[in-house]
Every structure is written in structure tokens, then in C-alpha cells.
Structure 1
């Protein structure tokens, strides 16, 4: 039940992350315009590399190490102080390198690049990995929710026209920094002070570097689309792709919330030698993310072309195509989240995870070179799907000796068939209805009913899991 409770906390926050753009994105897309939003996307794409270099692979490594030692207060306290001191040192070096690079190589967007530096400081002070390792998601979710709500209010108050781009960039970065800072007071009762002379921060450098390679490689094929679009297409195309990509990824976040919750859970099972428990958790998680991601994929595809310009404004008509073509990535990322984040990472098979995401990065860059030149933002969306497919196939190949893939995929056709039928119904309704909030809610509700009915008729495994969960809860 603890895993379910943590998932609900994390999924609840991911739903807030979905609702926040529903409130702010239509406003920001219209007030700042496609060109200014493109500038924000482009400059933030560059700072992403620097804060990832500063954090190394500490977010995943710290999460896992705290999970391994969470039952011993002194051990986890010592590990915390060692890891956070390493994180602050590497982030400080990254910040210095970033500021030097901005002053030497940036001219047109220098002010915005400088304001983006708040993200490096924010990630340098971030300790959410500690609470995730403790499987204490309530604190991080509560903190993030409060900060997110305040930042939403400030965007509406302070960002009023296209000249307020600098304020918008500042607010996003400062909100991230405030979120990181507000977690520190919670440490007081959870850890104890360990004298500095006992710290050995650099013993964690090599293992964090091992996790940094797949982290930065993953970000390469997440960010490279925007950077290559910024070089090969107008800034408006960058924001059109970015908003479409964000809509897809925000829907996906509800699914990948399982990875954040399951990593420390599986790491703790692995540390205790419960290999059967690790595999059982993997099969159940794979079935769950499939059941959830399939209707999200087909649902987005069904409403994409009308939803994009209705939600974002007339400057974003091409975003509908981006959403449609990128939606299949939801299923691919959901599967690789289970095989990679929930399995390979907790059981110390980082090198295989690195191989898979490296393949994805290379495929993404090659696909972008050809597709962006001919199809612009839609090409970048298709390249994203191709690269995520490559990662998923590679990870399934790498785990072939330890996981029964036939057992993983046996019930998949039930979900795909139910989802496809839902797509036919919703897309038909979308054709004859004008896009309004009422009609959108009607399509979503009808889509859910059709999909769930299909699962009952086809006797999908997720139905039995749900029944067992309800019985356990009622005991």
C-alpha cells in the first residue's frame, strides 16, 4: 500500500503539472507570442546541459543510495552530507563555466541566458532525491505544489505583454530555486550532523559519473530537437514544437510517475536480495503503464489538430500536427521507463541503460538532420518517436536473459485494440463537434468509458489488479 500511496502523491503532483499549463500556457502563448516563447525555449535548452553537468547523475544515484541505507540513520546522514557537498561543488563549477560561456559567446539573447542561470543554482541545492530515497513523497509533493501555485499567480500578475519575456524567464527559474530551498528545513528531524572530517564526497564521483552519462545522453535527444530547430527553422517553429512536445510530455508524466516511485522501492528489494519481488513488481508495473499510456496516446491523436490552435492560439496551428505525430512516444517512453528506470538502474546495470539511451541519442540526431530540413516541427516530432522506439527496443534486447518478454507483452493487444476503438469513436466526435471546454470534457469522458468497456470485454489483466486493490483497501 505504501507504493500505491506514494504513486498517488506523485501522480497527484503530475496532474497539477498538467493543470498548470492548462491555466498558463494559453495565456503565455498569446501574451508573449511564438517568437518570444521560442527565445525562452532556445535559451533554456542550452542551460539544461549546464545544470545537468552540475548535478551529474546525483538525482538517480542519491535516490538509490538513500534507499539502500534508509534504515540506518547515521549511514544515510553521512551519505547525504557527502553527496550534497559533491553536488554543490560540481554545480558551482558548472555555474562559473556557464557564465563565462554566456559572456564570451552570447550577444543577441545575453540577458535571457543570464536569467536562465537560476536553474543551475536551483538544481545545485535540490535535495528531493533524499526524500524520494526515503519513499517520503508527501514532503516533495507538498512543497512543489505550493511553489507551483504561487508561480502561476505571479505569471498572471507580472507577465502582461510581449515585453515581459525577461520577467517570465526570471519567474520560471526563481520558482525552481524557491522549490529547492524550501525542502531543506524538513531535514532537521530526518538526518543528523556528521563532522566534515568524516565526509568522503569524492568516493561518490565515479558512480555518479556512470549515471551522468545516460542522464546527459537522454537530455541530448530531448533538447537537441529544439536547438536544431532553432538553427534550421524560424524561432516560431521552435515554440510550436516546444508547446506540442510539452503537452505530450505532461500527459506522459502521469505514467512516468511510477518510475520515480518504483526506483527506490525496487532498489530496497534488490538490496535485501528479493530478486523474485523485483521481477514481480516489474511485470505489474509494465502492465499498469501500458494500460494507462495507450488511451493517452490514442486520445491525444484523436483531438490533436483542433486542440492545438484552440488551446494555444492561431499562431500555433502547426502544433496540432506536432501533438499527433509525437503522441506514440507516450507508449514508447512508458515502456522504457519500466525497463530502464525501474529495472536496469536499481539493480546496478547502468552500463546497459547507458548503451540504450546512447543509441537513442544517435538515432535522434540523425533523424533530426533529415526530417527537420524537410518537415520542420513535425519532423522533430517524428524524430522523437523514432529515437524513443530505438531506446525501448534496445532495452528489451538487453534484458532478454533475465525478463520473460513474452509475459510482458502477452496482454498488450487487449489494450491496443481497446485504445484504437476509442480513437475511432473520439476522432469521429471531434470531426463533427466544435472545440470548446464542454465538448473537450465530453470527448474525454466518452473516451474513458469506451476504453474501460473494451478492457472489460477483452478481460485485460489491469481489471483484475484493480479488483484486488479494491478488496485489499476494503479489508
Structure 2
């Protein structure tokens, strides 16, 4: 448990900085590039992400899990890592060839050519899965931190007006390319130089069968996550796509501290299950408790200050889409739920087939809803479809995994009800504040929320209080 807390503390510190950086970059880019340019960038990145998924989403989860399971067996680990690297390389070649063929006649060809660099950097050169599997979060976190800071500085320096979209795309590509190259040095230092004996045609063919569920899941996931942007662009709603994509990015930023929980715990839970230990359920209960404590105040707090936040954060051009932003806050809740179900139950227990089924049904459902709603309510259609498909995805996943672990009991329990009550009280208190000072509302909300958790004797809050009290008495 100490390792988990240390890793989370490190990751949480990183997520705080990551949270602060978009508070500079998103408002800056919203004003400098404007919704139209951001819509083009969102469309091209979405299409590129689908091709990146042919390599990454098909192998990263599997590779991380394999490294976590074999990390104490050096010889087997090295052989497995090199076969995975070769397998990813071959998939990367296929992905790039198809990508080039598709973009040749695009009106955004110059941007897609830069996105090609991003694709190569994110496939051939990405080895973060190895270090996450070994729970070496310090190296990954420090690297990511440098990426974020350097990327922000480059944006402020080279993106000055609406003609600098290509510079912004180049910055996104370079800030992935160079750090991924740098990680190859410690990788080869740990596993040694490649030798012919490491590679096995038999193992490569076995990998096809092992990774196939992840591969299908990766493709479906990326289609699921990006099809809305592609359909919006095809309906010539580029301006609206820029607004929509900036909102979606913001929700991901607020989900960052919650996402960190799943990233850290997935390899640990995998290891416990591989060693046939029973501690994994305790960790899931602990993490879900922690996720709810973060999720509820973030969601309700953001909703209570949304009017001031949208105007200040994005600019006046985005204010007319306030309702769109408020509706999308639901995605923070569904994202939190997904972290518990997918990262801590499905992946560690090797239940990819269940997730593939749920994801396929939800993707079809989402596409149908987008097409049905976009001509009726415009950009609100894709967001409504996103929310409804997220609930469908989680409902199917929870139902299909109930014989492995009762996720429903983890989510719906008396302790989580206390957290929800504390959040609702916080929400109403914030709305009673007449001042338009957003910072004042945030401070009041945080104080009220923490006080309510203490009054209601919420489980994790009681444990923290019991640990802190002895130090305060000294």
C-alpha cells in the first residue's frame, strides 16, 4: 500500500502541474487560433489517432500487463519485450502505409503530413508501456512533465495568430517525438542489446492471438472516441467542432487526477491477480472510494461556477455555448466510473472480450444517435450521443462482469451516498454566494465539502483524520 500511495503522490503532483498547464494553453489557443482552426486541428488529430490505435491501443494494455506479470523473471521479460517491440514495428508499418494512402487527396494534406510525424513518434518509438508495467512511474512522470512544460513554452513562443495552426501541429508532434526517443536509452540499458535468440516467429504468431482482443478493442475505442469529430467535420460544422473539442479537452484535464488512479493501480492489481493474492479487491474498494471523493466535487463544483468559468477560460466566443459545457460535465462522472470498471476490473482480470462487446454495441449506438441528432440540435447532438453511449457502455460492462466482482456494490453504497450528500450541500452553498469571484466560490466550496465529509464521517476522511490528529496534538 505504501508503494501505491508513493506512486500516486508522485503522479498526483504531476497531474496538478498538468492541470495548471492547460489553464494557460487552452484559453490562449482558444483566443489566438479561434474555433475554426481548432476544429481543423481536432479533425486531423482524431483521424490520426485512429491509425495510432492500430499499434498503441492494440498492444499497450497487453504489453503493460505482460511486463507487470513477468518483471521478476528477467530472461522471460527481455524475450517478451523484444517480441512485442518487433510486433509493434510491423503494425506501425501497416498503419503508416494505410494512413498515407488515405490522406493523399485531403484538403488538409500539409497538416496531415505533420501528423504523420506524430503517428511515427507515437507508435515506433513509444516504450512507456515497459516502464509503467515495471511501476517505474518516476521516469515516466518526469518525462511527461518536461514534455508539458516545453510544449507550453513553444506554444507561447511560436503560436501568435490564426496563421500559426501549422506551428501548433508541429509542436504537438515534436513534443512526443523527442521524449519518446530519449526513453529508448534507459529501455535498452535495462534489457540489453537485441539478440537473434530473443526473437521467435512462433511467439510473434502467438502474439497475434494474444493481442487480437486488444487490437479490436483499440480500433473500436478510437472510432468510439473520434467518430463524433469526423461526422461533425463532414457536416461542415468546423467552428462548432472547435468549441466542442476544447470543452472535451477540458473535461479530460479535470479527469487527470482520477485517471492517475487507474494508471497506477492496473499493473499492481494485475500482479496480485497473477500471484493469486486476494488484496486486489481491497485495493479496488479503496480506489473507488478515493475516485468518488474527487469526482463529486469536481463535477458539481465545475457546474456551480460554469458561467464565470466559460467566459474567463475560453473567451466570449464560447459563452453562447454555456449549456453545451454544462451538459458535458456529466462526462467527468462517466469517466470516473469507467476508470473503476475498465482499468481496475476488466484489464487486470483479462476480460477484454466483455469490454469489446460492450464497446462495439456502444459505438454503433453512438453513431446512430449522432446521425439522428446532429441535424436536429446541431453540435449538441454529438454530446448527447456521447453521454448516452457512455452510460450504455458502463451498464453493459457492469452487467457482464458481475460474476467476477460486484461493481454495483462498489459504486452504490452508503459511504458513497455520504460523498454525494456532501457534494450537493457544497453545490447549493456555492450558488448562494452572490459574488462573481470564481476563486472565492472555489475556496468556499472546498471548505464546505471537506467539512461535510468530516461531519458525515465518510470512511476515507475518518482514516485521514485519525492519522493527522496525533501529529496535531504534538
CA distance 1:319–1:117, change in 2 (3 Å):
farther
Are residues 1:195 and 2:198 paired? no
Deviations 1:11-36 (A, max 9, x none): 22222222221111111111111111
Unaligned runs of 5+ in 1: none
CA distance 1:470–1:358, change in 2 (3 Å):
farther
Report the counterpart of residue 301 of structure 1 in structure 2: 303
* Match for residue 226 of structure 1 among 226, 229, 239: 229
Deviations 1:269-327 (A, max 9, x none): 011011x2121111111111111111111111112233113211222124432221011
Mapped partners of 1:319, 1:216: distance in 2? 31
Q: Does the 8 Å contact 1:245/1:381 carry over to 2?
A: no
1:472 CA drift (Å): 12
1:377 CA drift (Å): 2.6
Deviations 1:211-230 (A, max 9, x none): 12222222222212211221
Q: Secondary structure, in 3 states, of the residue corresponding to 1:126? A: coil
Q: TM-score, normalised by structure 2?
A: 0.93
Are residues 1:443 and 2:441 paired? yes
Mapped partners of 2:179, 2:470: distance in 1? 36
Q: Does the 8 Å contact 1:60/1:211 carry over to 2?
A: yes
CA distance 1:472–1:79, change in 2 (3 Å):
farther
Report the counterpart of residue 386 of structure 1 in structure 2: 388
Unaligned runs of 5+ in 2: none
Counting only pairs closer than 5 Å after superposition, residues 70-149 of structure 1 correspond to structure 2 as 70-103=71-104, 105-106=105-106, 108-124=107-123, 125-149=125-149
Report the counterpart of residue 330 of structure 1 in structure 2: 332
Report the counterpart of residue 397 of structure 2 in structure 1: 395
Are residues 1:287 and 2:289 paired? yes
Q: Count the aligned residue pairs.
A: 465
Q: Secondary structure, in 3 states, of the residue corresponding to 1:57? A: helix
Mapped partners of 1:363, 1:453: distance in 2? 42
Cα RMSD of the aligned pairs, angstroms, is 2.0
Q: TM-score, normalised by structure 1?
A: 0.93
* Match for residue 262 of structure 2 among 248, 256, 259: 259
Deviations 1:122-167 (A, max 9, x none): 1111100000000010001101111221111111111111111111
Deviations 1:232-272 (A, max 9, x none): 25211001101111111110121011111111000100110
Mapped partners of 2:322, 2:117: distance in 1? 32
Q: Does the 8 Å contact 1:213/1:354 carry over to 2?
A: yes
Report the counterpart of residue 415 of structure 1 in structure 2: 419
Q: Does the 8 Å contact 2:290/2:460 carry over to 1?
A: yes
> Does 153-162 or 196-205 show the bigger shift?
196-205
Report the counterpart of residue 9 of structure 1 in structure 2: 10
1:440 CA drift (Å): 2.4
Mapped partners of 1:160, 1:196: distance in 2? 51
> Does 156-165 or 332-341 show the bigger shift?
332-341
Counting only pairs closer than 5 Å after superposition, residues 156-175 of structure 1 correspond to structure 2 as 156-175=156-175
Report the counterpart of residue 343 of structure 2 in structure 1: 341
> Does 362-371 or 236-245 show the bigger shift?
362-371
Q: Does the 8 Å contact 2:284/2:344 carry over to 1?
A: yes
CA distance 1:426–1:259, change in 2 (3 Å):
same
Mapped partners of 1:388, 1:100: distance in 2? 32
